[in-house]
Structure formats: structure tokens, C-alpha cells
Amino acid sequence: MKYLMLHSVDHGSSPEAEARATPEALDAWITEMTARGLLLDGSKLQPISDATTVRAPEGRTVVTDGPFAETKEQVAGYDVIDCPDLDSAVAVAAAHPTTHIGSIEVRAFAPGMPDPVVPAAPAPGKYRYLMLVCADLRRAMAAAAADPEGFAADRERETTAGAGVEETNDDVDVWIENAGSRRLYGWELEFPDRAVTVRRVDDRVVTTDGPFAETKEQIAGYDLLECDDLDDAIAIATSHPVAGGGVLELRPLRAS
């Protein structure tokens, strides 16, 4: 099973806690998880002041500064891991230094995701963006909870998790073709109500149900883009089928 780890850093953490989240501790985690064959991709993101959101209600492009939701906790980085089950994914997250200074949301990818192939560095002059695909998922989550088998079958057939949004896999396929080599990879996530959030309280690992931020719009999936510049990324985001009813957040990656 593949899982996404979304890191959220709490800037109010104690100096002792921060002292444990050193670059060396991060390097050690990366080295270990890579050696164990669990870590497939990951990066720090530039701060939210570098975020840009894109919507396209009725086909009109609306570009705004900032993240999709104004919450205290914001995505600061991500990792893609491959683990046999949720317990082992939580254990991998619990070993990450972010737990000393924030929390990690662990969320399974929808089934069938291929291994991401991501060159270590972007091509010269290109920028990488994590495009978070966000939508109001409440209706779809309620529907899925009421009829789990029917939802699974539906998803197999045509509808994706970008619910409340008239979107089909065909639209997504057209979008993927249009994005071409500017899209490195991307996948849909399981609903946020199946997320587990890992943090430390008094140096003990604590896991809680659900995502780290309760917002109207939730992250439904993401794509990793490599573009000429922000306008190029905005153009791709605008043409995404979710742009009509949801929102796309573009987060530049931070060079390691």
C-alpha cells in the first residue's frame, strides 16, 4: 500500500523539541527509509507565503496569493511511502523528526498507484510545484460511508473522489494528456476521514483519527508538476477538471 505523509510544522514548539528535528535527524530518516525501500518520493515545500491558489469558476481564471485554506496548520512537506499496512506506515511517520515540531497526516493513496519516477533535481531553469487538488468532499464522503461497496464500484467505473464536482476519469485523462511532460506523476487519495495524524505529546507518539486540519475543502489528491514558471503551472492548474468547483494550491518545492 502506498501512503502519503503530509507534514505540518507548528512554529510554536519548544526549543528542546526543535533541537531534535535537526537536518541530521532528517537525513538519517531519509537514509534509513530509502535503504528499507519504503521511501518513494518526498520534499520540503516553500512556506505558505509562496503558495498560489487557482480556481476557475465558470471558466474564469481566479489566481490568488496564499494556501487554499486559512488554517494554523499548513502543509510544509510531503513524503510518499510504501508500507504493508497502516500500522507500519504510522510507525514510519512516528520515526520522522517532524513529530517533534508538528504533526504528520498519514493518508492512503487510492488503489493502483504506480511507483513514482522522479529525477532528483528539476531540469535546468524549471520549477517544481506540488499541486494539491482540493474539493469539498463532505457529500461524497457521506455517500461513500452510506454505501461503501457502491462507492468502490463507482470509483472503479467512472467517478473520482473529486466529489461535488462534475468530474470523470475521462476529464482527468484529457487533462493528464494536456499536461504532458509537465506532470511528473500524481494520484488520488483516500478520503480524509480515513487519515491518521501522528504527533508527539510529552515525547510520546500519539495518533488521532482524521486529517490535521478540519476545513471545508480537503486535499483529494495531488500532482507533482515541473514547469517553466508559475504562469505555466497556473495554466495547467486552470485546465484541471477540479478547477471549476474546487481549488488547486500550487506549492513550490524547496531544493534539498
Partner 1 sequence: MTSEPGAAVALTFTEGWGRLVAGLIAWCGDWDLAEECAQEAFAAALVAWPRDGVPAAPLAWLTTVARNRARDRLRRRTTEGAKLALVGADQSDEVAPVADEDIPDERLRLIFTCCHPALPLPARTALTLRTLCGLTSAEIARAFLVTESTMDKRLVRARAKIKHAGIPYRVPPPELWHERVEGVLAVLYLMFNEGYAASSGESVLRVDVSAEAIRLTRSLSELLPGEPEVTALLALMLLTDARRPARVRGGRVVPLGEQDRSLWSADAIAEGAALLEGREPPWGPYAVQARIALCHDAAPTPADTDWATIGELYTLLPATPVTELNRAVAVSMTHGPAAALELVDALADELAGYYLHAATRADLQARLGRLDEAAASLALAIEQAPTGAERRLLRERLEGLGGP
Would you tell me which residues interact with partner 1 (CB under 8 A)? 46, 49-50, 52, 61, 63-66, 127, 129, 227-231, 233-234, 250, 252, 254
Whichever of 109 and 222 has its CB closer to partner 1, that residue is 222
Quickly count: other Cβ atoms within 10 Å of residue 37's Cβ: 9
Write down the least CB distance from residue 229 to partner 1, Å. Answer: 4
> Between 155 and 254, whose beta carbon lies closer to partner 1?
254
Any idea what the Cα angle at residue 66 is, between residues 165 and 248, rounded to 5°? 25
Cα separation, 39 vs 205, in Å, equals 21
Among 80, 30, 83, smallest CA distance to 189 is for 80
- Helices 148-157, 138-146: inter-axial angle, 10-degree rounding: 120
Q: How far is the CB of 251 from partner 1 (least distance, A)?
A: 9
Q: Report the nearest approach of partner 1 to the CB of residue 24 (Å).
A: 22
CB-based contacts of 228, cutoff 8 Å, min separation 6: 125, 126, 127
- Measured from the CB atom, is 51 or 189 closer to partner 1? 51
In terms of CB distance, is 86 or 184 closer to partner 1?
184
Cα torsion angle, 135, 138, 139, 142, sign: positive
- Least distance (Å) between residue 252 CB and partner 1: 5
**Could you tell me the CA-to-CA distances from 67 to 14, 152, 221, 247, 256 in Å, in that order?**
26, 30, 15, 10, 22
Residue 11 CB, nearest approach to partner 1 (Å): 15
Residue 62 CB, nearest distance to partner 1 (Å)? 8
* 121 or 142: CB nearest partner 1: 121
The DSSP code for 131 is E
Q: Give kind and range of the element (H or E) at residue 178.
A: helix 169-179
Is 66 or 244 the residue whose CB approaches partner 1 more closely? 66
